[in-house]
Amino acid sequence: MLLSAVLRLLASLLFAPLSGFARWPVQTRPGNIFMGWPPPPWDATYDYVVIGGGTAGITVAARLAQGGYQVALVEAGSDYESKHPISQIPGAATIGIGSSITTATSVDWKFVAQRVPGANHRDIHYARGKCLGGSPSEGAMQKWADLVGDPSYSFQNTFQYFKRTASFTPPEHRSENARRTYNESAFDISGQPLEVSYPRFAMPFSSWVRRALTAIGMEETQDFNTGSLRGHQFCSMTIRPTDESRSSSESAFLRSPRKLDTLAIYENTLAKKILFGDDNRAIGVRVQQLWDFTLHARREIILSAGAFQSPQLLMVSGIGPGSILHEHKIKPIVTLPGVGQNMWDHIFFGPSYQVSVDTFTGMAQNPIRLAAQAMIYTIFRDGMLTNPSADYLAFEKLPRSSRSNLTARDEYELSWFPEDWPEVEVRPPSMAAPERRLKFVQYIAASAYVGNFSDPFSQQPWTGQYATIIASMVAPTSRGNVTIRSANTADLPIINPNWMDTELDQKLAVATYRRMRDILQMPAILPVLIGPEYFPGSKYQTDAEVLHVIKDTLMTIYHASCTCKMGTRDDSLAVVDHRARVFGVTGLRVVDASSFPFLPPGHPQSTVYMLAEKIAADILAA
């Protein structure tokens, strides 16, 4: 609590003036549209109306405006960063995101997935620091291309879009041991405006995890952004190197030097319904501020309200499973059974130790340490607050020894995932051929106690420093769903993430937990560990006990996606085609994490930007 209060104050002093300044570039233009800020709350007509000012929506809206079109961007929230300046300190990335709803901030939608069976029936707060965890593997993008029937999604063809948004600064400002891992050709000199770099301060625990991963047989890799997710490295992050603040889609595009004067942003404006004209053509969006009004689109409507609210908006507008439309007495425009189905997500969990190096725990416990770090951050833009405290990533396929319990059926299910989904080939000296590794997992070195992640700050133990290796299951076979509570978008949709529903996911999770314990037994990391396993502790050993711990502590990494999935017309669950156009209507696309055909391994942010850039380019080229 104290930590969060101090950081909040610090952030408002440091960044509030900046966010104020970044606030809207817009000028009054001649013609029939008022392009000042804010646009007035009455009917207006634009070329494009974009719903949702998140990662994808801002990107699409900005690119279309830069292309000369008149664009309205409708966002239910308001300038997130000036209201919540703490979000700009990378080291404060964990504020507001605990699994307990009490951690929610004022800018949170306050989603709670209720009584999730796979999480021992706990209620999990699903919040809304960004780690740019790499692009998907070449195999993953080939799978995307195959599934949607469009070769332009291959890695080779999408690489340009992955590079388009990011402006990269190499880690020359870091200490020697944390400097070497990047591939310059993953980035493009003309990429803009999102800043990608590294925290100035590398977490000391990460260097120890690096040694342990090498010792257990994983190779250190140069880079995660050029089509291969294998091995381990310090990951690149969306951090602005000049002041070590977070670079988000919002701050990046708003500070961009490129003109956005044909973009009108409707903040605090809730999209209520997409309106259709003759021939099922999307013609406008009913929106609400103090009263309702309509934004008409001459050309198209782009829906980018995210994995929960894009399907919600489709359903309330008459596009969705017939039974749901019927139940809520919504006039059907087109029945698409896939709307709200097929939700993919990544979960994480992991064991903690007390350690002998400085971690986040120290700052949470001790106001003097915190004050010292705050000073270092303020004056030198250095220290632990430049780092979201989880800065080291690794991807592997679990070794054969960890999958002895899998059945032929399990292997068949997993064969869906491309061969190069996180994998390392390890050549034990005794074997001529590489050991084949299967099952897919990501490890993250986290310099804090994690437990059940209910409230990452107040749950830190009161004495000692703690660290955790967390695993994220990046080949989940359980699928969740999203449905509506009513025909009104002001009522939050119901989220059923369904994590750990399949027995296969449960087996893999248990095997992964054992693997993390093996990593933490490597002699290379022992010098830094103090005492026996602190959490959950050695009394949890059998598969059933370990599974119980996992279900009791698992948390989402907020990678919900695929609830309006892209696919071919013969795929009964597909909602949009390869150009993100909603089947059965015209003038409407869904462009955000919900329109992924599947969730690639790694962190989705780079893929959201890629998709937004690709579809914007597609529209501008037409």
Positions at the binding site: 604-605
Cβ-based neighbour number of residue 335 at 10 Å:
16
Residue 122 binding target from ligand FAD, ligand NAG, none, CB below 5 to 8 Å by type: ligand NAG
Using CB under 6 A as the binding rule, whether residue 181 contacts ligand NAG is answered as no
Residue 183 binding target from ligand NAG, ligand FAD, none, CB below 5 to 8 Å by type: ligand NAG
Report how far apart, in Å, the C-alpha atoms of 185 and of each of 20, 152, 182, 197 are. Answer: 35, 20, 9, 14
Using CB under 6 A as the binding rule, whether residue 158 contacts ligand NAG is answered as no
User: Could you give the CA distance from residue 209 to residue 177 in angstroms, rounded to a whole number?
Assistant: 13
Q: Which CB, 14 or 305, lies closer to ligand FAD?
A: 305
User: Could you give the CA distance from residue 427 to residue 172 in angstroms, rounded to a whole number?
Assistant: 33
Catalytic residue flag (residue 125): no
Please name the residue that has the structure tokens 């050695």.
Answer: 538
Asked if 271 contacts 313 with a C-beta cutoff of 8 angstroms, the reply is yes
Q: Is 338 exposed, middle or buried (0-12, 13-18, 19+ CB in 10 A)?
A: buried
Q: Which CB, 110 or 569, lies closer to ligand FAD?
A: 110
Site string for ligand NAG, 199-228 (x = CB under 6 A): -----------------------xx--x--
Query: What are the residues facing 443 on neighbouring strands?
Result: 394, 471
Least gap, CB of 596 to ligand FAD (angstroms): 9
Residue 559 binding target from ligand NAG, ligand FAD, none, CB below 5 to 8 Å by type: ligand FAD
Q: Which CB, 209 or 509, lies closer to ligand NAG?
A: 509
Residue 486 binding target from ligand FAD, ligand NAG, none, CB below 5 to 8 Å by type: none
By CB under 6 A, name the binding residues for ligand FAD.
Answer: 51-57, 74-77, 97, 127-131, 133, 270-271, 304-306, 309, 313, 489, 558-559, 592-593, 603-605, 608
Cα-based torsion angle of the residue sequence 368, 373, 379, 381 in order, rounded to the nearest 10 degrees:
-170
Find the binder of ligand NAG among 27, 156, 177, 405 (CB under 6 A).
405
Report DSSP letters for 339-393, one per residue. Answer: TT--BB--EEE--EEEESS--HHHHHH-HHHHHHHHHHHHHHS-SGGGS-S--EE
Q: Which CB, 483 or 512, lies closer to ligand NAG?
A: 483
Report DSSP letters for 161-202, one per residue. Answer: HHHHSEEE--STTS-GGG-----GGGS-TT--SEEEB--SSP
Find the binder of ligand NAG among 59, 94, 100, 465 (CB under 6 A).
100
Task: Give the DSSP letter of residue 439.
Answer: S
Q: Which CB, 504 or 588, lies closer to ligand FAD?
A: 588
Find the binder of ligand NAG among 32, 106, 190, 404 (CB under 6 A).
404
- Nearest residue to the partner ligand FAD, using Cβ: 54
Residue 53 binding target from ligand NAG, ligand FAD, none, CB below 5 to 8 Å by type: ligand FAD
Q: Which CB, 183 or 242, lies closer to ligand NAG?
A: 183
Pick the catalytic residue: 84, 125, 346, 559?
559
Catalytic residue flag (residue 603): yes
User: Could you give the CA distance from residue 202 to residue 28 in angstroms, rounded to a whole number?
Assistant: 46
Residues that bind ligand NAG (CB under 6 A): 99-100, 122, 183, 185-186, 222-223, 226, 404-405, 452, 454, 481, 483, 496, 498, 507, 543
